[in-house]
Structure 1
Amino acid sequence: MKKTFLSIVLLFVVFVAFADEGMWILKELNKQSIARMQELGFVFPIDQLYDENNPSLKDAVVIFGGGCSGVAVSDQGLIFTNHHCGYDAIQKLSSIEQDYLKNGFMADSYENELQADGLTVSFLQSMQDVTDEILPKIPSVLNEVQRELAIDSISDLLLTEYDGNPFIDAQVIPFYAGNKYYRVVYDVFRDVRLVIAPPQSIGKFGGETDNWMWPRHTGDFSVFRVYADKDNKPAEYSKDNVPYKPKYVVPVSLKGMAEGDYAMTIGYPGRTQRYLSSWGIKQMMESENKPRIEVRGVKQQIWWDAMTKSDVTRIKYASKYAGSSNYWKNAKGMNVALVKMNVVSEKESLESRMEEWINSDQQRKEKYGDVLSILKEAYTETNDLAKYTTYFLETFHNGIEIIRFANTILQFDANGSQQEKQEFISDRIINAYKNYNPDLDKKVLAELMKLYAERVPEQYHPDIYKTIQKKFKGNYDKYADWLFKHSKFTNLDDLLEFLKTADIKKLIKDPAMELALSVKDMGYELSSQMIPAYEKIMQGERKFMSALMEMNPDKEFYPDANFTQRLSYGTIKGYQPRDAVWYHYFSTTQGVLEKEIPDDPEFEVQPFILDILKMADFDRYADKDGKMHVCFLSDNDITGGNSGSPVFNGNAELLGLAFDGNWEALSGDVIFEPEMQRTISVDIRYILFVIDKIMKAPHIVNELNLVQ
């Protein structure tokens, strides 16, 4: 009896979330979390956080593009988000003549704002729990694939009313590893325009060197405006559209913050795996992160060398490089942090206690007796195959661009209407080739195909490798030279002419298409071998999550992040990264002056900006200490996707924009470590200072509801 009681106590201790841990669904905030928020200094009315019938704070926090967050800050549709979130749109609008990446952009009127073609901003309309409309209808005899297909069919019925509406995004999304489901509905605005982009020396100051690091001195912000039709409804781009009037607009605080002050983020965190088993973590580290680090490192070095030698290439590849390198460095930091924090051992201890808990009750043995063995078997038996799959994806899907172009052409319907064909060519081909350098891709192809051959057994090589051995004696440089010389896919004009005249037989004989088709065949082979394991993993993770929740009936669990709107709460706080070192909670413009390096692409700052900073005329944007604060730290729980998330004070006034985590806690997607994990945000006062004094756009500041 004592042993059983002790086990239960230990389980409870392990699984009680730290007070400020969690990415909470606003509709699921429990009494414990609300009490903790108020204890920390939250005074905003709780019922105004989330309300589907009246304006509330949830209405101001948006999905920006396909993977970031943002916030509505004016009744004229202004959206604040990160510079790196707007980077792709800014890059597409840039040219050698108008280099908005390097020099920034400022619209002095509505008429001069730039249409960000293809960019969307989505406002949350509702989240409805539909679990009882789905799970009771799923027969227990179904295997995992059949179960998912049945859930998809039911979900389709639950979304029927939204079919065919391009301005509504409706999804049924699983939570708690498929133990709960929400129907989530968004209003999607498709007329979005660039208003302010700071120069890269502000918005991307520190580059890859400072990424994930503290102290930080990056003014990571950009400003866009959402437009609607005359009835304030979403619409396609039109000169007749007017600025959108959001349901709720966030007040902007000039009061600053002090250590220990309340801090809250609301945003759209992308993906966490807080409940992942020890076997899953080991596979992530060894079979996913390590291959990704290696392949992207090779590709990025080729890109970077070319980008530093040519402004044309820099503009073309800036967004692609930033996206690739961000997750490359994240993977490196995650592996370091997971080892340092001994996470695998902690998970193994948890699994031992779970096994004891399961075996102590016959009903639990019948329900969960196989869950740990399922996970162990599924992961350990596929570690090598998962590694080869990562090498495959990073090489052929995320690495060599000409393969993606060929795969795109496979979707071209030569028998379609002239309008359909023209739209496909404009949307899918011309835009892609605008940011393409075939000479650079040729170098990437040769290096990555060689690396793949060295790291992956021959049985998982696409058949094209046999051709390379036979015709080119295994020389990947010669193969790359031949492919890029003879393929129509290396030149946009040649490709467009080819599409007008070529039949399917000629198309599939193009060297790039031969490569793409060979890769596609091997992709099917790898997927077919992994599917049985994926099925077991899905089943195991669902039952594992259910067991955790049943083990701890008094604990309020938060679901893993899945790019739905979440709230995290905490405080402004520094941290101790290692012995005898303490990081203060804010940085200032003095750090910009200290780090600035002329002619360095990451740390160079234009002389006129340096002059303004040295003058130290910070006006009302200065902190009470007289300094211009740039970035600050809080212990909020965030992850990728939270970029651009507003950081609020206790009155739900805007303090800044979250844009990064810290290097020492990049294990945060798997485990929250309260003493070490920090959110890095840009201070809203620095944002306003840059807009007003550097970008010379006080009219934008005047749109805001400033709180002194």
Structure 2
Amino acid sequence: MKKLFLSLTILFVAFTARADEGMWLLKELNRENIARMQELGFTFPADQLYSEQNPSLKDAVVIFGGGCTGVVVSEEGLVFTNHHCGYGAIQQLSAVEHDYLRDGFAAASKSDELYADGLTVSFLRSMEDVTDRIAPHVPLVMSEIQRELAIDSISNELISEYESDPFTRARVIPFFSRNKYYVVLYDLFRDVRMVVAPPSSVGKFGGDTDNWMWPRHTGDFSVFRVYAGKDNQPANYSADNVPYQPKYVVPVSLAGATEGDYAMTVGYPGSTQRYLSSWGIRQRMESENKPRIEVRGAKQEIWWDAMTANDTIRIKYASKYAGSSNYWKNSMGMNEALTRLGVLPEKEALESRLAEWIKNNPAQGNKYEGTLATLKEAYTASDELARNTTYFLETFNNGIELIRFANTILRFDSDGTEEDKQAFINDRLVES
């Protein structure tokens, strides 16, 4: 859920190597944001960033698969995304006889493009503020469990209300620490075909060693094409489908960039934990990252031994291994960087200054009295639970394929024919 919204990350690069930065929802950009952007070199028409009535940049930036970002670059539905985002589809289409993971793939014509079963591309249609339909029903006097149940119940009602057909996806997404809620609607395209995939020697150059490192020299790209029915609307896969004609296309520039140019990124990012307290950071390092590193390291060692001994196993487990190793490396790098950069002492110093300010400014600080002590108490009390939860998720929930398959069945949409359902289940069994 945390990735299913469109935001704008703006990075202003100057010769001094200083950057002003921020993250905004495109829909909520205001005049002050735009004016500041223009001061710093932004020349793109502001009204073409986000519009629900007219073609805009939001119509070219897509959710690729379960949460990656892609961008539409041609009038015939070509989508650029990362190699690691297309990796699951590349693996699914590979076999010992045609090992696209090892050798890469390039379609010489549209007829050579390969349908990636189960892969979807989602285009943002609209966002509607539904805070008034949720907030009144979740008063602060509720327990956290009661709040979660109430929010889930209302969200499910809203999703049922807004999902009018199989190609409309609705999500209720909280923002700003659950102070605002949006219903976000997407047009869901289910016919997506692989066009270009570099060999892993390019797309995963450096492997786990270079992952999450900078500078990095990986050719981390892949190219897919979105297909639609002859009416240009989303459709299930059919040989009769045609390349989708998008509302908006982002041109590919060969000019490159020069130092000092204005730059921004539009996409579907993950979440940030930069505002965690010192106790939250310590819990993340000790009770989440360390168990994750331990369990995934042991699991990956077993996988790797089997993968290097058998090409069939290597291909079948390539995507699983890559998915596991991604945040295994992230967790190791995070702990190393937080220690090397002295983030914990910095946070503790900041909290000391905040405590002093609260003490010396009772008129303004009274409402924050006890906040730091409450945070410390809550994190300290939950450390063991957080550690045990991480072990459970990494070993049982995310470790046993049968459990993941069962969860897929539980989430399976009740719509569709019995033949469709059986085909879906068979496909998931093959994947597992």
TM norm. shorter chain > 0.5: yes
Cα gap change, 1:292/1:139 in structure 2, threshold over 3 Å: closer, same or farther?
A: closer
Cα gap change, 1:187/1:425 in structure 2, threshold over 3 Å: closer, same or farther?
A: closer
Instruction: Name the CA distance, whole Å, in 2 between partners of 1:361 and 1:411.
Output: 51
Residue 423 of structure 1 corresponds to: 423
Residue 320 of structure 2 corresponds to: 320
Cα gap change, 1:296/1:423 in structure 2, threshold over 3 Å: closer, same or farther?
A: same
Cα gap change, 1:118/1:328 in structure 2, threshold over 3 Å: closer, same or farther?
A: same
Superposed, 1:445-484 pairs within 5 Å as none
Instruction: Name the CA distance, whole Å, in 2 between partners of 1:159 and 1:245.
Output: 27
Residue 454 of structure 1 corresponds to: none
Residue 95 of structure 2 corresponds to: 95
Superposed, 1:37-56 pairs within 5 Å as 37-56=37-56
Cα gap change, 1:321/1:259 in structure 2, threshold over 3 Å: closer, same or farther?
A: same
Q: Secondary structure at the match of 1:308?
A: helix
Instruction: Name the CA distance, whole Å, in 1 between partners of 2:140 and 2:295.
Output: 42
| Displacement of 1:273 | 1.6
Residue 120 of structure 2 corresponds to: 120
Deviation larger for 41-50 or 210-219? 210-219
Residue 377 of structure 1 corresponds to: 377
| Displacement of 1:105 | 1.3
Instruction: Name the CA distance, whole Å, in 1 between partners of 2:369 and 2:114.
Output: 59
Cα gap change, 1:278/1:26 in structure 2, threshold over 3 Å: closer, same or farther?
A: same
| Displacement of 1:150 | 3.1
Q: Is the 8 A contact 2:127 2:184 kept in 1?
A: yes
Instruction: Name the CA distance, whole Å, in 2 between partners of 1:317 and 1:172.
Output: 33
* Percent of residue pairs identical: 71
Instruction: Name the CA distance, whole Å, in 2 between partners of 1:395 and 1:345.
Output: 32
Instruction: Name the CA distance, whole Å, in 2 between partners of 1:247 and 1:28.
Output: 21
Q: Is the 8 A contact 1:19 1:36 kept in 2?
A: no
Q: Secondary structure at the match of 1:279?
A: helix
Q: Secondary structure at the match of 1:336?
A: helix
| Displacement of 1:59 | 0.9
| Displacement of 1:402 | 5.2
Q: Is the 8 A contact 1:114 1:194 kept in 2?
A: yes
Superposed, 1:167-206 pairs within 5 Å as 167-206=167-206
Residue 22 of structure 1 corresponds to: 22
Q: Is the 8 A contact 1:123 1:186 kept in 2?
A: yes
Please say which structure displays the higher CA radius of gyration: 1
- 5+ residue gaps, structure 1, are 1-17, 433-708
Instruction: Name the CA distance, whole Å, in 2 between partners of 1:26 and 1:421.
Output: 37
Report the residue type matching 1:180 in the other structure. Answer: K
Higher relative contact order (CA 8 A, sep 6+): 1
Cα gap change, 1:71/1:421 in structure 2, threshold over 3 Å: closer, same or farther?
A: closer
Residue 292 of structure 1 corresponds to: 292
Report the residue type matching 2:42 in the other structure. Answer: F
Instruction: Name the CA distance, whole Å, in 2 between partners of 1:424 and 1:50.
Output: 36
Q: Secondary structure at the match of 1:37?
A: helix
- 5+ residue gaps, structure 2, are 1-17
Q: Is the 8 A contact 1:204 1:220 kept in 2?
A: yes
Report the residue type matching 1:245 in the other structure. Answer: Q
Residue 241 of structure 1 corresponds to: 241
Q: Is the 8 A contact 1:292 1:390 kept in 2?
A: yes
Q: 1:87-140, CA deviations, whole angstroms, 9 ceiling, x for partnerless residues? A: 100100000111111111122222221110000000111122332443245434
Instruction: Name the CA distance, whole Å, in 2 between partners of 1:106 and 1:23.
Output: 36
| Displacement of 1:407 | 7.0
| Displacement of 1:35 | 3.8
Instruction: Name the CA distance, whole Å, in 2 between partners of 1:411 and 1:149.
Output: 17
Residue 209 of structure 1 corresponds to: 209
Residue 267 of structure 1 corresponds to: 267
Q: Is the 8 A contact 2:196 2:224 kept in 1?
A: yes
| Displacement of 1:83 | 1.0
Superposed, 1:575-594 pairs within 5 Å as none
| Displacement of 1:299 | 1.4
Report the residue type matching 2:46 in the other structure. Answer: I
| Displacement of 1:224 | 0.5
Cα gap change, 1:260/1:119 in structure 2, threshold over 3 Å: closer, same or farther?
A: same
Residue 5 of structure 2 corresponds to: none
Report the residue type matching 1:212 in the other structure. Answer: W
Residue 254 of structure 1 corresponds to: 254
Cα gap change, 1:277/1:164 in structure 2, threshold over 3 Å: closer, same or farther?
A: same
Q: TM-score, normalised by structure 2?
A: 0.87
Instruction: Name the CA distance, whole Å, in 1 between partners of 2:61 and 2:345.
Output: 38
Q: 1:177-206, CA deviations, whole angstroms, 9 ceiling, x for partnerless residues? A: 112222211111111011111222222222
Residue 162 of structure 2 corresponds to: 162
| Displacement of 1:356 | 4.7
| Displacement of 1:213 | 2.6
Q: Secondary structure at the match of 2:182?
A: strand
Cα gap change, 1:63/1:306 in structure 2, threshold over 3 Å: closer, same or farther?
A: same
Cα gap change, 1:51/1:393 in structure 2, threshold over 3 Å: closer, same or farther?
A: same
Superposed, 1:562-641 pairs within 5 Å as none
Does residue 1:68 correspond to 2:56, yes or no? Answer: no
Q: Secondary structure at the match of 1:125?
A: strand
Instruction: Name the CA distance, whole Å, in 2 between partners of 1:410 and 1:25.
Output: 32
Instruction: Name the CA distance, whole Å, in 2 between partners of 1:130 and 1:212.
Output: 37
Q: Is the 8 A contact 1:282 1:344 kept in 2?
A: yes
Q: Secondary structure at the match of 1:396?
A: helix
| Displacement of 1:258 | 1.7
Instruction: Name the CA distance, whole Å, in 2 between partners of 1:384 and 1:30.
Output: 44
Instruction: Name the CA distance, whole Å, in 1 between partners of 2:381 and 2:350.
Output: 22
| Displacement of 1:68 | 0.7
Instruction: Name the CA distance, whole Å, in 2 between partners of 1:261 and 1:316.
Output: 43
| Displacement of 1:32 | 4.8
Cα gap change, 1:201/1:49 in structure 2, threshold over 3 Å: closer, same or farther?
A: same
| Displacement of 1:254 | 0.7
Q: 1:541-589, CA deviations, whole angstroms, 9 ceiling, x for partnerless residues? A: xxxxxxxxxxxxxxxxxxxxxxxxxxxxxxxxxxxxxxxxxxxxxxxxx
Aligned-residue CA RMSD (Å): 2.6
Instruction: Name the CA distance, whole Å, in 2 between partners of 1:401 and 1:175.
Output: 33
Report the residue type matching 1:34 in the other structure. Answer: I
Residue 396 of structure 1 corresponds to: 396
Q: Is the 8 A contact 1:61 1:123 kept in 2?
A: yes
Cα gap change, 1:62/1:418 in structure 2, threshold over 3 Å: closer, same or farther?
A: closer
Cα gap change, 1:41/1:330 in structure 2, threshold over 3 Å: closer, same or farther?
A: same
Q: 1:676-706, CA deviations, whole angstroms, 9 ceiling, x for partnerless residues? A: xxxxxxxxxxxxxxxxxxxxxxxxxxxxxxx
Q: TM-score, normalised by structure 1?
A: 0.54
Instruction: Name the CA distance, whole Å, in 2 between partners of 1:401 and 1:138.
Output: 36
Q: Secondary structure at the match of 1:328?
A: helix
Q: Is the 8 A contact 2:307 2:314 kept in 1?
A: yes
Report the residue type matching 1:49 in the other structure. Answer: L
Residue 139 of structure 2 corresponds to: 139
Residue 338 of structure 1 corresponds to: 338
Report the residue type matching 2:205 in the other structure. Answer: F
Cα gap change, 1:80/1:418 in structure 2, threshold over 3 Å: closer, same or farther?
A: closer
Does residue 1:280 correspond to 2:275, yes or no? Answer: no
Does residue 1:108 correspond to 2:108, yes or no? Answer: yes
Instruction: Name the CA distance, whole Å, in 2 between partners of 1:410 and 1:129.
Output: 29
Cα gap change, 1:335/1:30 in structure 2, threshold over 3 Å: closer, same or farther?
A: farther
| Displacement of 1:405 | 5.3
Length, aligned pairs only = 410
Q: Is the 8 A contact 1:228 1:235 kept in 2?
A: yes
Deviation larger for 202-211 or 421-430? 421-430
Residue 224 of structure 1 corresponds to: 224
Instruction: Name the CA distance, whole Å, in 2 between partners of 1:251 and 1:410.
Output: 42
Cα gap change, 1:353/1:127 in structure 2, threshold over 3 Å: closer, same or farther?
A: farther
| Displacement of 1:312 | 1.6
Q: Secondary structure at the match of 2:70?
A: strand
Cα gap change, 1:333/1:144 in structure 2, threshold over 3 Å: closer, same or farther?
A: same
| Displacement of 1:361 | 4.0
Report the residue type matching 1:179 in the other structure. Answer: N
Instruction: Name the CA distance, whole Å, in 1 between partners of 2:67 and 2:319.
Output: 14
Cα gap change, 1:307/1:40 in structure 2, threshold over 3 Å: closer, same or farther?
A: farther
Q: Secondary structure at the match of 2:177?
A: helix
| Displacement of 1:390 | 1.3
Q: Is the 8 A contact 1:296 1:325 kept in 2?
A: yes
